Structure 1
C-alpha cells in the first residue's frame, strides 16, 4: 500500500513540474517566429528586407500585374494569307522568386524569376490545320473606298476562332461600319435596289465570299439573305448581304475548333476566305 502511494505522489510531482515548466494543457505552445528576408534586399527596384514570405508574395502579385506579358496566337496575314508566327508571353514565377529572396544575403539585389510561355495557337498548330472550305471572288470594283472597306472587313474576320458548337455572326464580328473605325463611302444597294453611296460598301463581298466557303465546308447556315439585285462577283443565289437587320450566321458543327482566314491578294484584285480545322493537340 505504501508503495502504491509513493507512485501516485511521484506522478503528481511530475505533472506539477510540467505545469511549472509551461507544458501544462492550458498553456499554448510557443509559435516559431516567421522567417524574414534579410535586411537591405531588393527585387525589381523594391525594398523587401525584413518582410515575411507572405508579405513579399503580395508585393510580387502586384509586380506580376505590371510586368507579365500576354502571349499572342499565331495567325494568318490579311494581305498575303501566310502564317504570322506566335509571340511568346512572360509570367512572373512568384514561388521561385520568394525562395530566392528568402535565401538572399543582406544588401543584395535579386533578379525576379520570369518564365516564357507559348500561346494556345502556334505556327506549328496552323501548319497542321486542315482546310475545310475555301472560296475566292474577284474584286471587280476597285474604287478606293470599296477596296478599303473590303480589306478592313477581311481583316476583322481574319483569324476568328470558332469553338465546337459555337455560332458565328458576321455582324457581331465586324461591327458597325463607321468613319471612326476606318470605313469609307462606297456603292451600296439602297432599299429599292438602286445604287447609292454608303459607309461600308464592299462589306457584302466579304460576307458572300465567306458564305460560299462555309457552304463548301458543309457547315450549318442558320441565317443568310440575298441582295435586292444580282451582284457580279458570285453566281446567282450564292450571295449573302448583311445590314443592321440582316446577318450571316452559321454554326461550327465539326466537333473541333475552326479558324477563318480572310485575305486580299494580287494587289487587291481578289478576295479569298478559308475555313481551317485546327488539330486537337
Structure 2
C-alpha cells in the first residue's frame, strides 16, 4: 500500500487553472508564473488540462503548448500530469501521445462521458490508453460529471496493468476506496477537498485540488499535520479550510470560475461565465478570513 510519503506523482497536487488573456487566448506567461508560484508554495506536482483547466474548451495544440510552458517554468523535477480523456478513444490516444511528447510525467485519464459505456468498454478504453504510451496513468473516477462510474471490480482488473498506478477519486465512496487500497497498490488521490483528510487517513496518497490554486499552503498543511502525528491539528486546520472549500466547490459555480475569480486570472471560456461581483466579493471575504485565521 502507498505510504504517506506520497504517491507516484507526489502528495499535494494542484488541478491548475488555464489562464487566458482578456481576448480569450491562451496566456502562457501567466501560466508560467502561476505554476512556478504553486510549486514555491508547496505543491508537489501539477495537473494540467483537467476539469479546472477547462480542458473541454482548449484545443489539442493549446494543451501541448500549456504543458511545454509549464515544464519550462517548473523544471524537470516537478511531476506534471496531463489531463486526457473524452468520448472518442482514438482522440484520447492522440492526446496521450502528444502529452508524452510534450513532456508529461503521467496522464490523468477521465472515464468516457456522454455515451455511458458499459464496464467492459470502460475497461477496454483505459487499457487502450495505457498501451498507447510509456506514461503511468491516474484514472479519474468522477461519475457525477461523466455519468459512468469506474466500478470497483473494474478497478481491480485495471490495477493489474503496470502503468495503471493511481486513481483520482471523486466517487464519494470511501468504503470502495478503502477496500481497493487494501487489495491493490493503487495510489488514491482525493479529488474532492472535503475528503482530502479522511481519504489520507485511510491510506490515500494525497489530493488533486482545485482550491490549491488559491490556498496551496493551507491545503497542504492539513496533510503535513496528519503525517507529523498530530491528527487533532490536522482536523483543526481542515475545519478552517472547509468554508473556502464549500464556497469554491459547492456554491453552484464550477471550480474554474471560482478559482479565477479569486485569482483575478482572466476570463473563463464559454459556455462557462465569470462569477458576478456579489459572488466574487463573497469568495474574497471567506478567503481573507481563512488567511487571517491561519497566518
Larger helix percent: 2
For the superposition of Structure 1 and Structure 2, which TM-score range results when normalised by the shorter chain? Answer: under 0.3
**Normalised by the size of structure 2, how large is the TM-score?**
0.21
Greater C-alpha radius of gyration: 1
Q: TM-score, with normalisation over the residues of structure 1?
A: 0.21
